Amino acid sequence: MKKFQFGLDGVMRYKQQVLEGAQNEYAVLVQRVQQQEQRLQTVVERYRAYNQEFRQAEAEGITIAQAMGYESGLRALEREQKQEEKRLKQMQAQAEQGRQRLVAARQDTNSLEKLKEKKSEVYRKEAQKQEEEFIDELVSNTRAVAVGSFG
C-alpha cells in the first residue's frame, strides 16, 4: 500500500506560514509596546524629578518668574506624558489585534493538524486491515495447496 498523503498539505503549509508571520508580527508589536512603556516611564520620571527640583527651589525661595518657568515646564511634561500615554494605548490596541490574528492562525493550523491526524489514523487502520486480509488469504491458499497435495 502506498504511503499516506494528506490532501490538504499545501493548505497546511500555507497556514503554517501565516502562523509564523502572525507570531513575528505579534512579537514586533509587543516589543513596540514595551519600548513605548519605557518612553512613558522616562517622561514620568523626568516630571517627578523636575517637580521635586521645583519644590526644593520653592522652599529655598525663588522669584515669581522662576516659579512660572517651573510651572510652564511641568505643564509641558504633563502634555508630553499624555501624548505618550495615548501612543501607548494605540500600540496596545494594535498588539491586541495582532494577538487575535495569532490566535486565529493557531486555531486554523491546529484544526488542520487534527484533521491530518484523523485521516492518517483512518489510513493506518485501513492499511492494517488490508494487510490482515492479505495474510488470511495467503494462509488459506497455503492450506488449500497443502490439502490438495495430500488428497
Q: Where are the domains of the chain?
A: 9-117
H/E run at residue 17: helix 9-60
Contact 26, 119 (CB under 8 A): no
Between CA 133 and CA 135 the distance in angstroms is: 5
26 exposure class (CB count in 10 Å sphere: 0-12, 13-18, 19+): buried
For 1-31, how does the pLDDT look when each residue is reduced to its tens digit (9 = 90+)?
A: 678 788 888 888 999 999 999 999 999 999 9
For 131-141, how does the pLDDT look when each residue is reduced to its tens digit (9 = 90+)?
A: 888 898 888 88
Residue type, 53: E
Give the CA angle between residues 22, 28, 33 to the nearest 5°: 125
For 49-91, how does the pLDDT look when each residue is reduced to its tens digit (9 = 90+)?
A: 999 999 999 999 999 999 999 999 999 999 999 999 999 999 9
pTM: 0.72
Rounded mean pLDDT, 40-51: 98
> How many residues does the structure list for the chain?
151
Name the class of domain 9-117. mainly alpha
